[in-house]
């Protein structure tokens, strides 16, 4: 379920004018509305490996990526 307090909406209005170069002009507003969603972030781990040797340092390799496109 999407909480209505978490949904983000952006709206932009552009005025477009078309000229046919024969003295005819047409002007119209174009409205663009973008509505976000409250989806879960993603977590991706790639080639993650680690090792612990007693009495020594922890070592690891790989990458972890987080994404949340709100």
- pLDDT in the model for residue 46: 75
User: Using the 8-state DSSP alphabet, how is residue 55 labeled?
Assistant: T
Per-residue tens of pLDDT for the chain, all 70 residues: 444 556 678 899 999 988 888 888 999 999 998 887 777 778 887 776 777 777 777 777 777 787 776 5
* Strand ranges, E, within 1-70: 9-19, 25-35, 42-52, 58-67
- With b meaning 16 or more CB within 10 Å and e meaning fewer, what string describes 4-26? eeeeeeeeeeeeeeeeeeeeeee
| Tally of residues, the chain | 70
pTM above 0.85, yes or no: no
- pLDDT in the model for residue 7: 67
- pLDDT in the model for residue 70: 55
């Amino acid at each position: 379920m999407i909480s209505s307090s978490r949904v983000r909406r952006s709206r932009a209005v552009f005025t477009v004018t078309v000229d046919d170069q024969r003295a005819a002009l047409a002007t119209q507003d174009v409205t663009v509305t973008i509505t976000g969603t409250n989806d879960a972030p993603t977590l991706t781990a790639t080639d993650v490996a680690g090792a612990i040797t007693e009495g020594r340092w922890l070592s690891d390799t790989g990458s972890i990526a987080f994404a949340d496109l709100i």
